[in-house]
Structure 1
């Protein structure tokens, strides 16, 4: 985990702990299970041998199931999630070798994540509730080694015969290990129905122990060839979910029924 990732994660922990200690018990006990679906933004950091660097994100997909237990305002949860962050392309100026962000992306690396969460729930207003939590994640990559390659070739449309110029890029994507781990902070806002269902929106920040992907990139021009690298670091997630409560809600004496 790099220094900037660790610093950002420490800030998230402080926010979560503050909310943990500053809220009262929300009267919901029992087991629950549900599904989630949403998007994630993987963060990628590019560096080339000319000293230029670029950080950018790319949207991917996430889907999963969860189950857990609530007791005295706290929740304990696990599950399994499938995620696939797309890999963004980095445009390169072949005269200056300065990179820039691109709106194009390629298929990413599919992985499966098993989190262990502990969190705190609190009532916001009537049926609405919020939650904060911390999680430890085990991440399993579907593929390992060299998993894909990509290339870009530029053409000069002003020429009578369309031929490739000397400006081109080639790269390979590698996964060094099938296993990875990470810490996650999560924030939830939801609505508790009169029946047994909860509807919620969840946002999370996942800091990996090590990069989830490594790319080796070679840029070619008519004058020079340079190398670059790019690593996939952390992820932001936003998902919608539905939970079913297996046990009836237990209300404390100070709280009105929904």
Structure 2
């Protein structure tokens, strides 16, 4: 897509979150193993990350592996963890070239040790970059995040660091995995599914949704631009009156 095709974009979302759905369906439609769908989905991650950086998006959060995904067949989970580790190892040099800062949210301690080590290396290597912040949601669940946030609040109160009377939405947000990032402006979900799947339940309260039937491995920059154009036409009132 030439730069001229996006020159008229005026209202770029500061933070885009994506539920990357459809890898398995994409593979099934082509009589390929599900792992091939995941590999092609990783290519889309690279393409969309680069496109977001070019368009001036500040934060991109990708739902890469949910807490429920651990229930999938053992071989598929092992293949996904191996793919994640390979992706991080091979794409970190590209993130350095593109000035992308990598971050991650979720119960990261549940990941295999080798994945944790590579993830921490990639985060450290890109920590000084000042362009797009790419946030991978790994072993992530929105309900689990809220529970962990409540536990963190209780701990702060019990240690005398916080008075319970001070607790409000802003204080609670500071105890979530996403405390360093703004809430998403735009949520994109591929493959036509109409549910949140336990993703960023607290943070999506006033986020604009965009649902597309396109499967994630087929989702490219033109699809991203189409989603942003839809977002540009929304009037965000945040509970107020138009």
TM surpasses 0.5:
no
The structure whose residues are more often helix, as a share, is 2
Q: Looking at both structures, which has the greater relative contact order when contacts are Cα pairs under 8 Å and sequence separation is at least 6? A: 2
TM-score (norm 2): 0.25
- Bigger radius of gyration among the two: 1
TM-score (norm 1): 0.24
The structure whose residues are more often strand, as a share, is 1
